[in-house]
Chain A
Amino acid sequence: MFMFERALTGSRKYWLWVASLLFVVLAGSLCYVLQLTHGLAVTGLSRDVSWGLYIAQFTFFVGVAASAVIVVLPYYLHNYQQFVRLTLLGELLAVTAVTMCMLFIFVDLGQPSRIFNIVLHPQLKSVMFWDMIALGGYLLMNAVIAVVTLTAQREQVPVPGWIKPVIILSIPWAISIHTVTAFLYSGLPGRSYWLTAILAPRFLASAFASGPALLILLCLALRKLTGFDAGWEAIQKLAVIVAYALAINIFLILAEVFTAFYSGIPEHEEAFRYLFVGFNGDYHLVPWMWLSALLSWVALTLLLVPKWRNNIRLLAVACAAIFVSIWLDKGLGLIVGGFTPSPLGAVTRYVPTLPESTIVLGIWAVGALMITVFYKTTLSVWEEN
């Protein structure tokens, strides 16, 4: 199959890594079989908190997928040559992230065997239908772009002309996938934590911070493991973009906090109270949310000072901090906060169970495996040239 045979040769260490990922995938699959036989009762979800880790991971990784635009746009629209290698790595990350998103939606379904009802009985009024169109289109586009680009690079010929319009279209499409994903939540009456017009801008800001942060971490890992250098100037430019996106994200969150607490409308305050100070005697998310806030500020400080940003160790720390911070905010707080308190004022604690977490880890392992194969193939083509 298309150049992937290049991922079949590697050192002992490489195969050990692949084998351990396959082991996690296997563990996740076994837990999914458990969920299929016993129903979603094996998760920590409840009547009050009916979406949890699965949907939260979906939301977080739509952001990672959308963030490919951060490298694609400067390279193709502004001819910023430093990003020449990063664009392909970014597009491959997008393909991986969208695949993970689809898997997260799939494992969340109560009746997965009926999934094709979405195609058989499409409901144009449902945002979920449009999210499927947006994500499916984005996956297809990025897969085609990546394959065509890599093939051209292997043959050492210029990319065919017809791919340019597809690349240009993928730029607004990236914005659309995260906007439509935000609309899944922000259009619902009676969920005041989500019912805010700045949810889509917030999603984009946090995506443009966490996605490129992950890309920087991947580049630093490649540099250490394979000696591949994406270019220090390119990484530094990416770090600056991440810093600004992070600053905008922090600003938007603070704007939400101001509106909720200065207006003093109980409904708007309650979810924030639940997440940051505890509500009705439940405090179990409070330390996590403050950790998220702290990590964001630490990362922002590290990235804004040029001397620190230029230090490879501190840059890695900052990027890891952003990834964890936004994962906590978007992959945990956002979904649980929307469901708590419930429409009837109940606070129901949501704690993911072991099978549920293993399924999530299994999908993460699928993603890691895809990135490993994609990047190994790409690097081997580049090494040849």
Chain B
Amino acid sequence: MKITRKDFLRLSGLGLLALAGKKAVRAVGERSFASSSPPKKRVRWGMAIDLQKCRQKDGCDRCIKACHSTHNVPQFADRAHEIKWIWKEPFKNVFPAAQTGYTREFFGDLPVLLLCNHCDDPPCQDVCPVDATWKRDNGVVTIDFHRCIGCRYCMAACPYGARSFNWQDPRPAIAMVNPDFPTRTRGVVEKCNFCEERLARGQGPACAESCEEKAIVSGDLEKPDSEVRQVLRSRFAVQRKPELGTGPSVYYIV
């Protein structure tokens, strides 16, 4: 049998095509095999805040200071421009529906700790036009400070008032810069990040760790034997505005 030059080229071309085809089939096969393996266990970081323990020490703000110094949160005197990741508000403003005329007498003015709820179905994520805020695999709702265009649609969408906007350059208003966490620029939105940078190192949130009364318990809400789930099993806890269907991951033990 005689092979002409033309046949040789044709055959080697076909051989190469077959090789590429085999690779492609294998790649597709591997991918479909991977997706048919059991799904990775869901992780959802959450928190239970014991309000009784929280108000044991009058005017305590250790957690607020710990969070704000860890994350380079600027301090502005003007209420209109303030930036806050974790702060306190009177009970009557946080749970307006959870009080009759009489419980208001005792509970109304008691302080409640507030932070981003890291919703299961976050409205802020849906509205962001540039995908700068999203829910991570571990349930933490996070922001890309470098992608945010500062349209503030997420602030309108958040039913909890958890988001702050940098109306001006925040850097001059940071008392002491923590070099381990980025400072922000003017014109972007920010909020509590559930200390995702600490979670990545195997540490708990800074607010929970700073609390001497152990009023803040954090953990994986999907894991039945986690500390937070044990607390939620034994005590009656409420979420903020659960009727909106956002699925807040922060629980309050009243």
Contact = CB atoms under 8 A, between A and B. Distances in A.
B159 A190 contact: yes
Q: Which of B155, B167, B241 has the most CB of A within 10 A?
A: B167
A110 B149 contact: yes
Contacts of A117: 130, 132, 147, 149
A126 B127 contact: yes
Contacts of A120: 130
Given A188-B123, A345-B96, A121 B130 contact: yes
Interface in A370-384: none
A265 to B, nearest CB: 10
A13 interface: no
A45 B147 contact: no
A164 to B, nearest CB: 34
Interface residues of B, number: 49
A47 B152 contact: no
A46 B126 contact: no
Interface string B139-161: 00000000111111101111111
Given A41-B168, A344-B93, A189 B80 contact: no
B131 A123 contact: yes
B13 interface: no
A290 interface: no
B159 A343 contact: yes
A114 B146 CA distance: 9
Contacts of A346: 93
B167 A115 contact: no
Contacts of B158: 190, 343
Given A46-B80, A121-B130, A121-B147, A111 B169 contact: no
Interface in B106-126: 114, 123, 125-126
Interface residues of A, number: 46
B244 interface: yes
A65 B176 CA distance: 50
A127 interface: yes
Given A41-B168, A46-B79, A343-B158, A123 B129 contact: yes
Interface string A189-217: 11100000000000000000000000000
Contacts of A266: 96
Nearest to B126: A125
Given A39-B186, A41-B168, A188 B157 contact: yes
B157 A38 contact: no
B89 interface: yes
B93 A111 contact: no
Nearest to B161: A343
Interface of B: 79-83, 89, 92-94, 96, 114, 123, 125-132, 147-153, 155-161, 164-169, 185-189, 241, 244-246
14 contacts: A39-B168, A40-B150, A47-B81, A50-B152, A50-B156, A110-B148, A110-B188, A114-B147, A117-B149, A121-B131, A125-B126, A344-B93, A345-B93, A348-B79
Interface of A: 38-41, 45-48, 50-51, 105, 108-112, 114-115, 117-118, 120-123, 125-129, 132, 184-185, 188-191, 266-267, 338-339, 342-346, 348
